[in-house]
């Protein structure tokens, strides 16, 4: 007997609404049990509306989004080819795999002092820190995807006369695509997670910058607005990648 683990669209929407209602109820409860300074939904909504009206939220969102997109695009653009090279060529793997493991153990946030000294306090170090976070996450997944390709598929393709270029194009790339897309999603989360720290570097705008300014004045509603904005934008971007993953990896069996 096979279990039905998939939900219909209506069921998914209903579950999403119930989840949101539960979260709002819990939020309202926490704001009314005496936690000092903890803002309720109404206070945060009011602050968000004020930020929208004066244009601050829009300008901060655009500034942060630009940094994340640039750093993320460069990171993914480099990680995918490097991951393929490491997975396909043993000599490249031997040269770069130890450095990949080494850099994975160093948090991108620990690179901020070095980035400031070498790159100054402009946009470059902010983008670099975000790039590093996205690059390492995607590199590992791409590399793992290549080395995880079933050897039987490779041997079968060779027996049928496939050249290296055909083997790479029709076997390695399709089989690695699900891993790459998962790495892109993880890299996206890492990029947004690094944003707030990256905007510590003498930023004058951005969601992380505004959050840090609000912290100085104990302005919790503003902090909540920035947190929610980061979460919503990150969720929307992740959903786009998830749709791409389902489309490109539709041949895979799913539970």
Q: What mean pLDDT do residues 53-80 have?
A: 91
Query: pTM for the full model?
Result: 0.83
Please answer whether residues 94 and 104 qualify as being in contact, where contact means their C-beta atoms are separated by less than 8 angstroms. no
Task: Note whether residue 141 is domain-resident.
Answer: yes
Task: Note whether residue 253 is domain-resident.
Answer: no
User: By mean pLDDT, which of 1-5, 12-16, 138-142 is the weakest?
Assistant: 1-5
Q: Find the domain containing 153 and state its range.
A: 39-248
Q: What mean pLDDT do residues 207-226 have?
A: 87
Domain of 46, CATH number, reads 1.10.3720.10
Average pLDDT across the chain, whole number? 83
CA 94 from centre of chain: 28
Task: Note whether residue 13 is domain-resident.
Answer: no
Which pLDDT score is estimated for 160?
Answer: 77
Please answer whether residues 247 and 190 qualify as being in contact, where contact means their C-beta atoms are separated by less than 8 angstroms. no
N-terminal to C-terminal alpha carbon distance within the chain: 14
Give the residue among 130, 139, 138 at the shortest CA–CA distance from 96: 139
Which pLDDT score is estimated for 1?
Answer: 42
Task: Note whether residue 16 is domain-resident.
Answer: no
Task: Note whether residue 73 is domain-resident.
Answer: yes
Give pLDDT tens digits for 156-213: 888 777 777 778 788 888 888 888 888 888 889 888 888 888 887 777 888 888 888 8
Residues of the chain above pLDDT 90, percent: 12
Which pLDDT score is estimated for 68?
Answer: 92
Q: What mean pLDDT do residues 244-255 have?
A: 65
Task: Note whether residue 12 is domain-resident.
Answer: no
Q: What mean pLDDT do residues 46-59 have?
A: 90
Task: Note whether residue 64 is domain-resident.
Answer: yes
pLDDT(12) > 80:
no
Which pLDDT score is estimated for 249?
Answer: 63
Q: Please, what is the Cα angle at 102 between 68 and 67, to 5 degrees?
A: 10
pLDDT(5) > 50:
yes
Give pLDDT tens digits for 115-148: 888 888 888 888 998 999 899 888 988 888 888 8
pLDDT(43) > 70:
yes
Percent composition of the chain: helix, strand, coil (DSSP 3-state, to 5): 80, 0, 20
Give pLDDT tens digits for 72-90: 999 999 999 998 888 888 8
Separation between Cα atoms, residue 188 and residue 185, nearest integer Å: 5
Q: What mean pLDDT do residues 96-106 have?
A: 84
Which pLDDT score is estimated for 49?
Answer: 92
Question: How far is the CA of 197 from the CAs of 74, 123, 194, 204, in angstroms?
Answer: 19, 13, 6, 14
Task: Note whether residue 29 is domain-resident.
Answer: no
Pairwise pLDDT comparison (203 vs 9), residue with the higher score: 203
Which pLDDT score is estimated for 2?
Answer: 46
Domain total for the chain? Answer: 1
Specify the residue for token string 């786009």. Answer: 240
pLDDT(218) > 60:
yes
């Amino acid at each position: 007997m096979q279990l039905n683990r998939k939900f219909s669209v209506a069921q998914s929407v209903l579950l999403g609404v119930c989840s949101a209602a539960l979260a709002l109820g819990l939020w309202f409860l926490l704001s009314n049990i005496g936690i000092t300074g903890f803002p309720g939904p109404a206070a945060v909504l009011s602050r968000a509306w004020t930020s929208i009206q004066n244009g601050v939220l829009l300008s901060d969102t655009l500034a942060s989004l630009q940094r994340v997109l640039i750093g993320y695009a460069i990171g993914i653009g480099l990680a995918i080819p490097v991951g393929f090279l490491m997975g396909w060529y043993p000599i490249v793997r031997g040269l770069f795999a130890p450095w990949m493991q080494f850099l994975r153990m160093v948090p991108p946030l620990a690179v901020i002092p070095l980035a400031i000294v070498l790159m100054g306090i402009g946009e470059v170090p902010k983008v670099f820190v975000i790039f590093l976070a996205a690059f390492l996450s995607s590199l590992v997944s791409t590399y793992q995807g290549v080395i995880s390709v079933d050897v039987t598929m490779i041997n079968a393709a060779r027996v049928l006369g496939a050249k290296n270029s055909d083997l790479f194009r029709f076997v390695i790339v399709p089989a690695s695509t699900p891993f790459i897309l998962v790495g892109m999603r993880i890299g996206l989360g890492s990029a947004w997670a690094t944003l707030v720290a990256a905007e510590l570097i003498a930023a004058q705008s951005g969601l992380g910058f505004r959050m840090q300014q609000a912290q100085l004045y104990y302005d919790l509603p503003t902090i909540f607005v920035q947190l929610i904005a980061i979460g919503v934008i990150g969720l929307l971007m992740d959903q786009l990648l998830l749709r791409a993953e389902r489309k490109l990896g539709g041949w895979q069996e799913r539970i």
